[in-house]
Structure 1
Amino acid sequence: MPMEGNLKKGTKQRLSIRSSRLQEADMRTPRMAEEESILPPEMRSKIWKLFRQIERELEGMYEENIGLQQKVEILTDKLDAIQSGKSFSEAGASIDGAESSSKLSVKSKASSQLSQLILKPKAKGAGGKTVFSFKGTSSTGCQLMHHYNGHSDGVWEVSVSRGDAPLLATASADRTARLWCIETHSCVLQYLGHLGSVNSVRFHPSEPLLLTASGDNTAHVWKSNVSLPTIGQQPESKSCPSSGDDLDGSDKEEIDGTESENIIYVKAPQVMLEGHTSVLIAADWLAGGKQLVTASWDRTANLYDLETSAVVHSLTGHDQELTHACAHPTQKMVVTSSMDTTFRLWDFRDPSIHSVNVFQGHTDSVTSAAFASGDKVVSGSDDRTVKVWDLKNMRTPLAMIRTDSPVNRLSVSPTSNIMAIPQDNRNIRLYDLNGVRVGRLPRSNRQGHHRMVCCTAWNDETASCNLFSCGFDRQVLGWHVGMSQLVTS
Structure 2
Amino acid sequence: MPQSDTLSQKSTKHKRTASGKLSTTGETELNVLRSHLNSDFDEGVLPVSIKFKLNSLFAQIEREFELLYVQNLNLQDKVETLLEKLDRESIINEKYVEINDIESVSNINKNLSKQKVLVSNPSAAKLKTTNKLKVQTSKIVSSFKTSLVNCFKVRSFAGHRDGVWDIAVRPGQPVLGSASADRTVRLWSTQTGKCLLQYSGHSGSVNSVRFLPNKDLVLSASGDKSVHIWQAVINWECLNNDNDSDLDESKELDESSITLRTPVKELLGHSNVVIAADWLSDGEQVITASWDRVANLFDVETGTILQSLTGHDEELTFCASHPTQRLAVTCSKDTTFRLWDFRESIHSVCVFQGHTDTVTSAIFPAAGSGDQDRLVSGADDRTVKVWELRNMRSPLATIRTDSPVNRLSISPCTGLVAIPHDNRQVRLFDLSGQRLGRLPRNNRQGHHRIVTATTWSDDTGLYTCGFDRIILSWSVVQNKKQDGGE
Amino acid at match of 2:239: C
Tell me the residue number matched to 1:469.
464
Give, in whole Å, the separation in 1 of the partners of 2:253 and 2:407.
36
Q: Deviations over 1:350-381 (max 9, x none)?
A: 2x121100000111000100112241111100
Deviation of residue 117 (structure 1)?
5.7
Tell me the residue number matched to 2:153.
144
Q: Verify: 1:358 aligned to 2:351, yes or no.
A: yes
Give, in whole Å, the separation in 2 of the partners of 1:335 and 1:354.
13
Deviation of residue 475 (structure 1)?
1.4
Structure 1 147/95 Cα, relative in aligned 2: closer, same or farther at 3 Å? farther
Q: Which of 368, 371, 387 is residue 364 of structure 2 equivalent to?
A: 371
Tell me the residue number matched to 1:157.
166
Higher radius of gyration, 1 or 2? 2
Give, in whole Å, the separation in 1 of the partners of 2:468 and 2:10.
14
Tell me the residue number matched to 1:11.
12
Give, in whole Å, the separation in 1 of the partners of 2:307 and 2:375.
23
Q: Verify: 1:69 aligned to 2:68, yes or no.
A: no
Amino acid at match of 1:415: C
Q: Secondary structure of 1:70's partner?
A: helix
Q: Which of 263, 272, 277 is residue 266 of structure 2 equivalent to?
A: 272
Deviation of residue 257 (structure 1)?
5.6
Amino acid at match of 2:81: Q
Deviation of residue 6 (structure 1)?
8.3
User: Which stretches in structure 1 are left out of the alignment for 5+ residues?
Assistant: 23-58, 79-89, 98-112, 120-133, 135-139, 229-236, 244-253
Tell me the residue number matched to 2:478.
483
Tell me the residue number matched to 2:327.
333
Q: Which of 295, 305, 314 is residue 308 of structure 2 equivalent to?
A: 314
Structure 1 65/146 Cα, relative in aligned 2: closer, same or farther at 3 Å? closer
Contact 1:339 1:366 in 2 (8 A): yes
Give, in whole Å, the separation in 2 of the partners of 1:418 and 1:377.
13
Give, in whole Å, the separation in 2 of the partners of 1:61 and 1:273.
41
Structure 1 117/227 Cα, relative in aligned 2: closer, same or farther at 3 Å? farther
Q: Secondary structure of 2:91's partner?
A: helix
Give, in whole Å, the separation in 2 of the partners of 1:355 and 1:348.
7
Structure 1 147/70 Cα, relative in aligned 2: closer, same or farther at 3 Å? same
Structure 1 387/147 Cα, relative in aligned 2: closer, same or farther at 3 Å? same
Q: Deviations over 1:102-139 (max 9, x none)?
A: xxxxxxxxxxx89x9675xxxxxxxxxxxxxx4xxxxx
Q: Verify: 1:171 aligned to 2:170, yes or no.
A: no
Contact 2:159 2:250 in 1 (8 A): no
Q: Verify: 1:208 aligned to 2:216, yes or no.
A: yes
Give, in whole Å, the separation in 2 of the partners of 1:166 and 1:336.
29
Give, in whole Å, the separation in 2 of the partners of 1:118 and 1:63.
27
Tell me the residue number matched to 2:191.
183
Q: Verify: 1:407 aligned to 2:405, yes or no.
A: yes
Amino acid at match of 1:240: L
Deviation of residue 72 (structure 1)?
3.3
Give, in whole Å, the separation in 1 of the partners of 2:94 and 2:267.
58
Q: Which of 395, 398, 412 is residue 397 of structure 1 equivalent to?
A: 395
Deviation of residue 216 (structure 1)?
0.1
Amino acid at match of 2:293: R
Structure 1 407/221 Cα, relative in aligned 2: closer, same or farther at 3 Å? same
Q: Secondary structure of 2:79's partner?
A: helix
Tell me the residue number matched to 1:49.
none
Contact 1:160 1:457 in 2 (8 A): yes
**Aligned ranges for residues 73-472 of structure 1 at < 5 Å?**
92-93=90-91, 134=148, 140-163=149-172, 165-226=173-234, 240-241=239-240, 256=251, 262-350=256-344, 352-372=345-365, 373-460=371-458, 463=460, 466-472=461-467
Give, in whole Å, the separation in 1 of the partners of 2:426 and 2:91.
24
Give, in whole Å, the separation in 2 of the partners of 1:152 and 1:337.
28
Q: Secondary structure of 1:190's partner?
A: strand
Give, in whole Å, the separation in 1 of the partners of 2:400 and 2:412.
23
Contact 2:194 2:239 in 1 (8 A): no
Give, in whole Å, the separation in 2 of the partners of 1:196 and 1:60.
30
Q: Secondary structure of 1:156's partner?
A: strand
Give, in whole Å, the separation in 2 of the partners of 1:477 and 1:66.
19
Amino acid at match of 2:362: A
Deviation of residue 60 (structure 1)?
12
Contact 1:278 1:297 in 2 (8 A): yes
Amino acid at match of 1:382: D
Structure 1 94/370 Cα, relative in aligned 2: closer, same or farther at 3 Å? farther
Amino acid at match of 1:213: A
Deviation of residue 93 (structure 1)?
1.8
Q: TM-score, length-normalised on structure 1?
A: 0.70
Structure 1 395/270 Cα, relative in aligned 2: closer, same or farther at 3 Å? same
Q: Secondary structure of 1:240's partner?
A: helix
Tell me the residue number matched to 2:129.
none
Deviation of residue 92 (structure 1)?
3.5
Give, in whole Å, the separation in 1 of the partners of 2:458 and 2:231.
24
Deviation of residue 225 (structure 1)?
1.0
Count of matched residue pairs: 377
Identical aligned residues as a percent: 51
Give, in whole Å, the separation in 2 of the partners of 1:332 and 1:485.
37
Tell me the residue number matched to 2:117.
none
Give, in whole Å, the separation in 1 of the partners of 2:328 and 2:280.
8
Deviation of residue 474 (structure 1)?
0.7
Give, in whole Å, the separation in 1 of the partners of 2:73 and 2:14.
18
Deviation of residue 288 (structure 1)?
1.7
Give, in whole Å, the separation in 1 of the partners of 2:203 and 2:179.
13
Amino acid at match of 2:207: N
Give, in whole Å, the separation in 1 of the partners of 2:414 and 2:440.
20
Q: Deviations over 1:433-456 (max 9, x none)?
A: 111100100113520000110000
Amino acid at match of 2:185: A
Give, in whole Å, the separation in 1 of the partners of 2:253 and 2:166.
28
Give, in whole Å, the separation in 2 of the partners of 1:415 and 1:275.
37
Give, in whole Å, the separation in 2 of the partners of 1:303 and 1:347.
12
Give, in whole Å, the separation in 2 of the partners of 1:474 and 1:392.
39
Deviation of residue 277 (structure 1)?
0.1
Tell me the residue number matched to 1:126.
none
Structure 1 306/419 Cα, relative in aligned 2: closer, same or farther at 3 Å? same
Structure 1 276/74 Cα, relative in aligned 2: closer, same or farther at 3 Å? farther
Give, in whole Å, the separation in 2 of the partners of 1:346 and 1:474.
34
Give, in whole Å, the separation in 2 of the partners of 1:425 and 1:406.
8
Q: Secondary structure of 1:178's partner?
A: strand
Tell me the residue number matched to 2:2.
2
Deviation of residue 241 (structure 1)?
4.7
